[in-house]
Every structure is written in structure tokens, then in C-alpha cells.
């Protein structure tokens, strides 16, 4: 058990190195980001339930926050150079006032060890994230989190809201995740930062817990 915890912790810590990949926004010496495709964002239909699966379980408004779900679509490339179209989703939790935003977006590669999505890192740190003015994002990076257990995965929980979801497989997850990050670095409509605006984003940090941390270790 100790060894397993150690590997998981190492995965989380090494995942934080992804910061160096994503934090060049706003730096004068930053490498051009054009090599990373910008995905297309869209708002999902209301569906039969009228809200996102795994959205906030407490009222965000008293803290000056809100959340919004987006469908993220594009063409991803795997390690062998094969391309595949995809549509996944993300839930952005953000301040409603630009003055509350500290400039950093945290991308949570949500854990799917239990065959459904579990945003461990941002769930456990939500009080600090809100207090300090972070924006944080539930990223559906892996296929099983979208199509796994009945009533615990989006495509089975609300077939109307998530009819467009199309995950080609985890071989494409790394590029999909990178494109999600890119959506916070390029101007687009709709703006994932809402009234705060993308111009306020200074850094994008990837985090992951346990299995997700191991995947981000491989990403690094």
C-alpha cells in the first residue's frame, strides 16, 4: 500500500511539471502556440436533466463563482501520427468578476479508476481555489469517463445533452487535453472564461490524482 501511494504521489507531483508546457501565455519569450490546434467550443443542449453531470454540488454564487459546461471538438493526433475527430466536454468553474480572478486556470484530468469521472484534485482543494481566485476545469480526457457505467457517465446519464460526445480512445487523450489547454490561450466564441475574458489568463496548470497523475507523468 505504501509503495502504491508513493507512485501515485510521484505521479501527481510530476504532473505539475506540465505547468512548463502550458504557462507560456503572456510571456514575451513564449514559443508560438500555433502548432497546437484550437478546438471548437460549443454549449451543449439542455437535455432531459437541464444541467451538467458532475457540476458543482454547492451554490457557487455566494462566493462570486459560476460554472459552465462546454463541448470541445477538434481533430486529435496520437503518438503514431494517426488523426481522429473528437468531441469531449469540460466544466469551467470561474469567478464572475475579473477582479476576483488570479490569472491561473487549473485543468483537472479527472480520475476514471472507478469507471466514472472523479475530479479529485479540484474537489478536495475547492475551498482554497475559490478563496485564492483560481478558475478550475473538469476535463473529460479519457473515454471510459464518458461512456462507462450506466447513469454515472454523461452519455448514459443524459443521452440528449451528450449526443454529440465522440471520444476516439485514450490514444488520442494527450492531444485532446493539450487542445483543451489551448482553448484558454486563444480568442474564441464562446469564451470559456465568460465575463472574465481570456485576456486575463496568465497560466494554465494541469493536475491529476493517482491514475490521472500517472497519465500526466506519461504526458510529461
DSSP string covering 107-118: EEE-B-TTSS-B
pLDDT of amino acid 71: 98
* C-alpha–C-alpha distance, residues 207 and 138, integer Å: 10
- Check if the beta carbon of residue 93 is closer than 8 Å to that of residue 136: yes
First to last CA, the chain: 25
* C-alpha–C-alpha distance, residues 33 and 186, integer Å: 9
Name every residue whose Cβ is closer than 8 Å to that of residue 150 and which is 6 or more positions away in sequence. Answer: 156
Name every residue whose Cβ is closer than 8 Å to that of residue 23 and which is 6 or more positions away in sequence. Answer: 202, 203, 204, 205
Q: List beta partners, residue 139.
A: 90, 109
Low-confidence ranges of the chain (pLDDT < 50): 1-31, 33-34
pLDDT of amino acid 105: 98
Residues present in the chain in total = 220
pLDDT of amino acid 35: 83
Amino acid at each position: 500500500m505504501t509503495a502504491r501511494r508513493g507512485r501515485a504521489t510521484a505521479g501527481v507531483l510530476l504532473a505539475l511539471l506540465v505547468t512548463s508546457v502550458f504557462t507560456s501565455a503572456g510571456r514575451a519569450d513564449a514559443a508560438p502556440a500555433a502548432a497546437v490546434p484550437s478546438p471548437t467550443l460549443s454549449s451543449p443542449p439542455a437535455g432531459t436533466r437541464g444541467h451538467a453531470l458532475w457540476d458543482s454540488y454547492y451554490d457557487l454564487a455566494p462566493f462570486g463563482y459560476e460554472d459552465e459546461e462546454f463541448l470541445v471538438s477538434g481533430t486529435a493526433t496520437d503518438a503514431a501520427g494517426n488523426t481522429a475527430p473528437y468531441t469531449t466536454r469540460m466544466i469551467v468553474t470561474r469567478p464572475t468578476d475579473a477582479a476576483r480572478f488570479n490569472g491561473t486556470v487549473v485543468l483537472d484530468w479527472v480520475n476514471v479508476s472507478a469507471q466514472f469521472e472523479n475530479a479529485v484534485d479540484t474537489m478536495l482543494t475547492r475551498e482554497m481555489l475559490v478563496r485564492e481566485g483560481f478558475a478550475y476545469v473538469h476535463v473529460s480526457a479519457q473515454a471510459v469517463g464518458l461512456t462507462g457505467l450506466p447513469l454515472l457517465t454523461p452519455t448514459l446519464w443524459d443521452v440528449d445533452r451528450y449526443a454529440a460526445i465522440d471520444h476516439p480512445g485514450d490514444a488520442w487523450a494527450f492531444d485532446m487535453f493539450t487542445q483543451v489547454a489551448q482553448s484558454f490561450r486563444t480568442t474564441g466564441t464562446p469564451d470559456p472564461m465568460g465575463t472574465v475574458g481570456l485576456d486575463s489568463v496568465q497560466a494554465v496548470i494541469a493536475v491529476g490524482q493517482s491514475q490521472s497523475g500517472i497519465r500526466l507523468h506519461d504526458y510529461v
